[in-house]
Amino acid sequence: MKLSKLILLAGFVAAACSGPKAPETVTISRDKLMDKIMGGWAGQTIGVVYGAPTEFKFTGTLIPDNMPISWGEGYVKHWWDRKPGLFDDVYNDLTFAEAFEQLGLDASSKDLAMRFAYAPYHLAHANQAGRYNVRQGIMPPESGNWLNNPHADDLDFQIEADFVGLMAPGMIPQALDIADRVGHIMNSGDGFYGGAFVAGLYSAAFIESNPSRIVDMALEGIPQESTFWQCINDVRILHKKYPNDWKTAWFEILKKWDCDTGCPKGVFLSFNIDAKINSAYVAMGLLYGEGDFGKSLEIATRCGQDSDCNPATVGGVLGVVLGLENMPAFWKDPVMEIWNLDFEGTDVSLAKGSRYSFNQALQLIEKNGGEVREAEVLIPQKPVEVLPLEQNFVNTFPIYRDQKDAWMSKDYEFDFSGNGFVIWGNLVCLRGITADYANRVSKKHVGSEVFALAEENDDYVAEIEVWIDGQLDQVSVLPMKGTSRKLEPAWKYGLPEGRHTVKMVWRNPKPDTYLLRINAIQYYGSKPIDDVYYHN
């Protein structure tokens, strides 16, 4: 065969192997774009309310089939009036949507962090830890780094990254850029990847309707070396192996991945707020729900753990796929009752948030080489680059949970063997009883009628020295105000493996007014517990 024919044949083979060329732009009407954005906001809110009664009530177990999950006319408004804090992931989303609207698309991570840190509403876990760090002058990415934030792997960014995909429709690379600026305020590692994954899900849902393909596209930017990617990939593998049995897949994920490493509330307990396993339940809802809105929400909810936020993500992604107009009235009508109402601690409603997302989407499309026309938009399509690898708690494994149930009024000492510790506890304010009495009674007998855990008008700030092995390591600053509070009194990772002593000394004690409650202390080692106890 002549050389020219060989070259020609090789060209045909290469073309066949490469497949069809991806389009450089995707066209969508402006009306459809807005409808999908509204569907995303509505779907997220629906999922939050749908899972409200079961949130963290089923930890490490499925919600049984014979337990009904309520939904109906007036149900969203019922929860709106009864428990406005339930909508935390929605109003956190809206805070960032408003910030980008006011600061512009190029808003810096520092500016976004300041907006977030000084929002007036209640926060918890990684969000509050990130807020505390920012208020103490520790800015992102350090504010979300696991060395400064024991909750770095928690799902906080995951539950509030929806707005990112809504402002970056069909543009996953741009969604990941925004996620990087926002997600490191409160998370890092798998906690950050959880939000990046959700941002990718929403972004992909504008241009793809197949749930399997949406999950695949959202994972493209997550490094395969990360435990987050490996966990979600296991869901994909199990879905192929058990395509009609989501409960078997759930059990296999539980056996392998139900092991929270960081959150002091969950380590060695059934409570698991880790981003990996909760994102796995999101993926299960999407894959096994097969695009059916109600079925997908139910599966994500019945997986348990954070069973309002996980169906919220599923509902939001499918809300984008369907658009608000095509969403079944059974689901849509209850959320429309609050459509124009401002969320707690904000002056933003779903209606206003939808307009923000639409405006930002148009700007982002133009900024990245797309085109905004009178009746349609051309969304640019660019390859997704994999995010840098981040992995938290490196060589830091939980080895023992020491349940203390103790009270500190002046000082407190403990010792341990390992390479790190974190104290789970909080500053409390006494109401009309003595510190001696509080120390003599068990914790279960000292209830909310005695202590104010989050006094918003109390300006007291405790200062507690933390001495490790006879050396002053840190001064822990503990504000009494709930929005300023430090979630864990003290922690330290990365110590040399071995025996350590810790002494805490209260610099400015007021033992008749304030106590430090020490619920438990979690110890860490440089090797997993099975290596320490079973192989030596």
Residue 312: band (very low, low, confident or very high) from pLDDT cuts 50, 70, 90: very high
3-state class (DSSP) for residue 492: strand
Compute the mean pLDDT over every residue in the chain, rounded to the nearest whole number.
91
Residue 529: band (very low, low, confident or very high) from pLDDT cuts 50, 70, 90: confident
Q: Give Cα 30 distance to the centre of its chain.
A: 30
Distance CA 384, CA 525 (A): 37
Buried/exposed 355-377: b ≥16 CB within 10 Å, e otherwise? bbbbebbbbbbeebebeeeeeeb
CA-wise closest residue to 401 among 300, 291, 264: 264
Once rounded to an integer, what is the mean pLDDT over residues 275-282? 98
Quick one: DSSP state of residue 441? S
Distance CA 181, CA 292 (A): 33
Once rounded to an integer, what is the mean pLDDT over residues 127-151? 98
How confident is the model at residue 158, as a pLDDT? 97
Distance CA 356, CA 162 (A): 13
- Asked whether residue 302 carries a pLDDT value surpassing 50, the answer given is yes
Stated pTM of the model: 0.91
Residue 43: band (very low, low, confident or very high) from pLDDT cuts 50, 70, 90: very high
What is the tens place of the pLDDT at every residue in 354-377?
A: 999 999 999 999 999 999 999 999
From-to residues of CATH 1.10.4080.10 in the chain = 31-380
Once rounded to an integer, what is the mean pLDDT over residues 229-251? 98
Distance CA 157, CA 375 (A): 34
The highest-confidence range among 48-62, 272-286, 446-460, by mean pLDDT, is 272-286
- Asked whether residue 291 carries a pLDDT value surpassing 90, the answer given is yes
What is the tens place of the pLDDT at every residue in 403-439?
A: 999 999 999 999 999 999 999 999 999 864 455 545 5
397-534 belongs to CATH 3.40.50: no
Distance CA 514, CA 463 (A): 12
Distance CA 265, CA 153 (A): 13
CA-wise closest residue to 345 among 129, 90, 114, 107: 90
Sign, Cα dihedral of 108, 110, 114, 116: positive
Distance CA 379, CA 32 (A): 13
Decide: residue 7, CB within 10 A, 0-12 exposed, 13-18 middle, 19+ buried: exposed
What is the tens place of the pLDDT at every residue in 332-353?
A: 999 999 999 999 888 999 999 9
Quick one: DSSP state of residue 120? S
- Asked whether residue 2 carries a pLDDT value surpassing 80, the answer given is no
* Cβ(159)–Cβ(300) below 8 Å: no
From-to residues of CATH 2.60.120 in the chain = 397-534
* Cβ(235)–Cβ(253) below 8 Å: yes
Once rounded to an integer, what is the mean pLDDT over residues 104-121? 95
Q: Give Cα 184 distance to the centre of its chain.
A: 11
- Asked whether residue 298 carries a pLDDT value surpassing 90, the answer given is yes
- Asked whether residue 451 carries a pLDDT value surpassing 70, the answer given is no
- Asked whether residue 8 carries a pLDDT value surpassing 70, the answer given is no
Tokens found for residue 150 = 């024991």
Phi, psi of 255 (to 5 degrees): -60, -40
Distance CA 69, CA 54 (A): 9
3-state class (DSSP) for residue 52: helix
Once rounded to an integer, what is the mean pLDDT over residues 200-223? 98
- Asked whether residue 277 carries a pLDDT value surpassing 90, the answer given is yes
Residue 89: band (very low, low, confident or very high) from pLDDT cuts 50, 70, 90: confident
Distance CA 509, CA 34 (A): 56
Residue 456: band (very low, low, confident or very high) from pLDDT cuts 50, 70, 90: low
* DSSP of 177-239: HHHHHHHTTT--HHHHHHHHHHHHHHHHHTT---HHHHHHHHHTTS-TTSHHHHHHHHHHHHH
Residue 18: band (very low, low, confident or very high) from pLDDT cuts 50, 70, 90: very low
What is the tens place of the pLDDT at every residue in 483-518?
A: 999 999 999 999 999 999 999 999 999 998 999 999
Distance CA 135, CA 281 (A): 33
Tokens found for residue 146 = 């696991």
How confident is the model at residue 534, as a pLDDT? 42
- Asked whether residue 216 carries a pLDDT value surpassing 90, the answer given is yes
Domain 31-380 fold is ADP-ribosylglycohydrolase fold (1.10.4080)
Tokens found for residue 105 = 């698309």
Distance CA 489, CA 60 (A): 28
Higher-confidence residue of 138 and 13: namely: 138
